[in-house]
Amino acid sequence: MRVLIAPVEVAGIAQGLYEGFSEIGVDSQVCLSLAHPFKYSGNKKEPWVLRVWQFLGGWRSKLTRASLFQKPFSVVLHNLWGFVVLFWAIFRFDSFIFLYALTLTNTKIELWLLRLLGRKIVFIYAGSDSRPPFMDGGFFAGAVSDPIPSVRSIFRLVRGVKSRVAAQEKYADFVVCSPASAQYLTLPFVDWFLMGIPKSFASSGKNSDKSAGVVRILHAPSNSGVKGTATIMETLERLREKGHLIEVFLLENKSNSEVLEALQNCDFIVDQLYADTPLAALAAEAAFFGKPAIVAGYFSEFVQSHVRKENIPPSLFVMPCELEAAIEKLIVDRCFRCELGLKAQNYVRTRWSPKHVALRYHQLLVGHEIPTDWWVDPYSIRYVDGNGLDRRRTAKLVRELVNSYGSSALMLADKPALQQALLSMANQAGCGDTGA
């Protein structure tokens, strides 16, 4: 078996899978269309065809639209080289794992050809690639009172995500997705939480809790608007004014190695405000070093009913309105903090180790019978609050979309209960907000 992992890196998952496959003796290659900005470590020396692809991708990303001739030319050239990469890969690999709903050429003909030639195809969705855009702060972050973009742009995005997911489901052997972002799926999929985020790091020896005095709290957003950084920092300031001895570290746009160093020197992290997972990539990295995470999000009310208990990773997963109380608990209760950190550490170093994650993906690829508890029925999903934005903003986006295009614009007619839940939320005031 030879496995290609492509074409983008998402939170170190591609590299983690590569390391895990290496541990279990499976030949694999990470194939990125563009070098990752946070400098995740690479795999074995890449062939020239991939180095050219990354060079073209780097050139494309550096050019702005002001480059009237160079920008379009770079896009066309980079896309065309994707077909060269496909031709190179199709004779070297029998299994393809695609991340973030992207492929080598992002065309249906590529998927048709891979399927025709009997190649195994797995899509790993990471959130915004499968989640309805009107439920996604990555597209429409902002305060509740902020104006929304044109309704036409929302509808266009919704239609694009829906059609892309439908096409990929048609050709994929397996789709791995979180129940919190699978509203547009129509076929049973493999639970993201069961498969896990593969993480493994070398500790620098600073992984100790030195909390006799000041408690060190880290917040390291990849996108401050989506992660709710402004509200998180205001909450931390209120706790400082209450007299708590805390030292707050805000780390933005740093390399992965810098973030890992900071994780080993903090007591706990505050990850995000409106998350739809109890342990996203940063929180998983913190857990590896025994540092607990506070994660706020509306999915905290649904996780027990959507994810099997043994697949829920340990964190302090709370509603957004409970953020301040949760932070205060970890500040004052050192025993609880340490215990939660150790639980999270044990979880990611065993169930989410690169080896164990790779073994589960290997089970998909070799065609062994997949246990029934791996599967999730998309028609059982009832979660409508999304990720990265206040539910009142989600309601506002839904209202505008439905008022202009009708309820069919939600593209959830096949799931009437889910559609009705969205319509009901859109017509009433949201609850569980931070009060900010």
Which CATH number does the domain housing residue 262 bear?
3.40.50.2000
The DSSP code sequence of 306-375 is HS-GGGS--SEEE-GGGHHHHHHHHHH-HHHHHHHHHHHHHHHHHTTSHHHHHHHHHHHHHTPPPPGGGE
**C-alpha 343: how far from chain center:** 22
From 182, 177, 128, 178, select the one nearest 157 (Cα to Cα). 128
The pLDDT score that the predictor gives to residue 253 is: 76
Q: Are strands 174-177 and 120-124 parallel, antiparallel or unpaired?
A: parallel
| Residue 391 belongs to a domain | no
Domain that holds residue 295: 215-351
| Residue 307 belongs to a domain | yes
| Residue 239 belongs to a domain | yes
Residue 435 pLDDT greater than 60, yes or no: no
Model pLDDT for residues 346-383, shown as the tens digit of each residue: 999 999 999 999 999 999 999 778 999 999 999 999 99
Give the DSSP letter of residue 136: B
Q: Give percent of the chain with pLDDT exceeding 70.
A: 93
The pLDDT score that the predictor gives to residue 149 is: 82
* Range scoring the smallest mean pLDDT among 36-45, 179-188, 232-241: 36-45
Structural domain tally of the chain? 1
Higher pLDDT: 91 or 209? It is 91
The pLDDT score that the predictor gives to residue 387 is: 94
Model pLDDT for residues 105-148, shown as the tens digit of each residue: 999 999 999 999 999 999 999 989 999 999 999 888 888 888 88
Residue 201 pLDDT greater than 60, yes or no: yes
From 410, 426, 420, select the one nearest 161 (Cα to Cα). 410
Going by pLDDT thresholds of 50, 70 and 90, the confidence category of residue 37 is low
Going by pLDDT thresholds of 50, 70 and 90, the confidence category of residue 41 is very low
| Residue 254 belongs to a domain | yes
| Residue 425 belongs to a domain | no
Which backbone phi and psi does 296 adopt, to 5 degrees? -105, 145
Residue 237 pLDDT greater than 70, yes or no: yes
| Residue 95 belongs to a domain | no
Residue 94 pLDDT greater than 60, yes or no: yes
Between CA 276 and CA 285, with CA 282 as vertex, the angle to 5 degrees is 125
Strand order in the sheet with 316-318: 246-250, 215-219, 268-270, 293-296, 316-318
| Residue 141 belongs to a domain | no
Q: Are 126 and 161 in contact (CB under 8 A)?
A: no
Between CA 166 and CA 92, with CA 58 as vertex, the angle to 5 degrees is 60
Q: How far is Cα 359 from Cα 353, in angstroms, rounded to an integer?
A: 10
Other Cβ atoms closer than 10 A to 295: 28
Q: What is the mean pLDDT of the chain?
A: 90
Residue 428 pLDDT greater than 50, yes or no: yes
The pLDDT score that the predictor gives to residue 410 is: 96
Other Cβ atoms closer than 10 A to 383: 23
* Range scoring the smallest mean pLDDT among 8-12, 321-325, 408-412, 426-430: 426-430
Going by pLDDT thresholds of 50, 70 and 90, the confidence category of residue 8 is very high
Q: Are 305 and 284 in contact (CB under 8 A)?
A: no
Going by pLDDT thresholds of 50, 70 and 90, the confidence category of residue 11 is confident
Going by pLDDT thresholds of 50, 70 and 90, the confidence category of residue 202 is low
Model pLDDT for residues 44-74, shown as the tens digit of each residue: 577 899 999 999 998 888 887 777 788 888 8
| Residue 296 belongs to a domain | yes
Residue 20: its H or E element? helix 13-23
Q: How far is Cα 414 from Cα 378, in angstroms, rounded to an integer?
A: 10
Beta-ladder partners of 175: 123
Q: What is the pTM of this model?
A: 0.90
